[in-house]
Structure 1
Amino acid sequence: MTTIHDHSLPPLEPDLVGWEPVVGAIRKQIAQRREELNMQQSVLDFTAARADRDAGMSRAHDAAARRDEDWPDAAYGFLVRYARTHEQFISEELTAMADRMGYSSPADPRAWGAIFQRAARNNIIQRIGYGVSQRRHLSPTPLWRSLVFGGSAA
């Protein structure tokens, strides 16, 4: 029995034995088509997911701005200052520090996403990989590198 991508092809029926070259060619075409389909499925289109992510960040950002019109600029300023003294970080390290220092928190922490994206667009930070989030049950979370790092805060 020939196995292709976990799909088994049955052996030839006894009355088709003379057709082995034809059946072999058909099986080869089936295998090639399955491979093409597998390759197409592995190339995912994230366009809709990115649009949904951006829309969610925008809604959370706008809600935070309605609650406190100064929050977006204050949060951005905090991120810039934090990046000057922290070479690499994940978002929850920054937001935990903001909370400890008494900065107002948005009702939805996803509002910070728009602040991080703004900082990335302005070449303040750059995503360089993934860190581990304790708050999100050890899920991967973006790891940011500061592009304005000037040394440790003492």
Structure 2
Amino acid sequence: MSTPAIDCEHVTHRYGDFTAIDDLSLTVGVGETMGLLGPNGAGKTTLVRLLTTLTPVQHGQVGIFGLDAGRRTMDIRQNLGYVPQQLSIESALTGRQNVDLFARLYDVPRRERRARVDDALEAMQLLDVADRLAKTYSGGMVRRLELAQALVNRP
């Protein structure tokens, strides 16, 4: 059997007295599609933040393609593309600067960074406006810029 894409075992996460995730065990195989459904406060966002290593694992085990989310955060981040629900662009930066910032956060090697930023912007059809401030972008352009940020590390 191959290594699962996602493997959670007995995951619990609390915010003070509030339990957002309570003893969750979940396995998602490579190539499978999974959806998270539930009411507000059900722990969906918390789980996504755990899977993307943006929130540390408190209790249990979280594995992404066989990598321990508690110990291999940068290795996991280099292999994921993540577009958060809330806007993640900095409007005072250009589109290029926004994508470059994510390239640095994903630890894209310096010698590859410029080409990767341009490739991501081109893939989202933003290369021609890359040097404009992000605050001048339309709503659709902002969402494409966020996709470019998620793709710059070639997940």
Q: Above 0.5 in TM-score? A: no
Task: Give the TM-score normalised by structure 1.
Answer: 0.25
Bigger fraction of residues in helix: 1
Task: Give the TM-score normalised by structure 2.
Answer: 0.25
User: Rg bigger for which structure?
Assistant: 1
